[in-house]
Amino acid sequence: MRKKLCFDCKKSFNLSSDDLGLSNFKCPECGNQAIVVTHRFRPPKAGDNRKWEVVKFLVKNGFPYQHISIYEPDRHGIQRFIKYARYPENMIDAIEFVEQHKLQALKNNG
């Protein structure tokens, strides 16, 4: 199940059956625009403004907490899946994450 995320309220909500088929999501608390993220997203505490800025930066750059794959070459030079990347929790790491994984960014987010 996906979630909708409100940067104004600093909260996330599970998508309801009323949301199915919609392309424009609203926050159920404030009515402002909400962004859709994957179910893997775990919101920071509402008062943790630094972490919320990181979340906003990642989403705006095409990373709504989807899986980001990490590959390494095997002994034959063939790229093999190793693991999924962990999402960063601070802005310095977030900037590096966006640059490092830009080919896996989703377009038109936020």
Amino acid code (one letter) for 60 = K
pLDDT digits (tens, 9 = 90+) for 24-64: 788 989 999 999 898 889 999 999 999 999 999 999 999 99
Q: Are 6 and 37 in contact (CB under 8 A)?
A: no
Q: What is the pTM of this model?
A: 0.85
User: What band does 83 get if pLDDT is binned at 50, 70 and 90?
Assistant: very high
* Residue with token string 């990181």: 54
pLDDT digits (tens, 9 = 90+) for 9-19: 999 998 876 66
Residue with tokens 């590096």: 96
Cβ pair 37, 13 in contact under 8 A: no
